[in-house]
Amino acid sequence: MLLPLISGCLAVGRVDSSILRGKIFKHVRVPYTTDLQNTSVTDIQSHGIIIHIEEPISGYGFYTELNSNAIGDIAEKHGITKVYFADLEIFSVLGVWRHEKLHIYGE
């Protein structure tokens, strides 16, 4: 009896939504690596940022990237001598503007 009422909430097969894939807007923070064997816990954190701007109209793929988020550069800049692990945070709007922040943890 409830099947006709909830049938609009059911999806058969693969859900194909650009919102779920992040084509319109995406803000996620994911581990940069999943190999955390014998990784120490630390409160010391630093980050580096890359800003990626892409020209979407011509189709030629013109883009520019500003700054560096290389792990070694970030660690040296903030005085971290030993890096334990890293997280990558991605903020994207319409695939035109992308802001990546690499968080590193260490001592």
Mean pLDDT of all residues in 71-80: 84
Residues, the chain, total?
A: 107
**Cα 12–chain centre separation:** 29
Neighbours of 2 (CB within 10 A): 6
Domains in the chain: boundaries? 24-106
pLDDT tens-digit series, residues 35-74: 767 777 776 777 777 778 888 788 788 888 777 768 888 8
Residue 101 has pLDDT above 50, yes or no: yes
Residues 6+ apart with CB under 8 A from 75: 46, 81, 83, 104, 106
C-alpha distances in angstroms, 66 versus 39, 49, 54, 86, 96? 31, 8, 12, 20, 14
pTM: 0.62
Token pair in block for residue 40: 């120490």
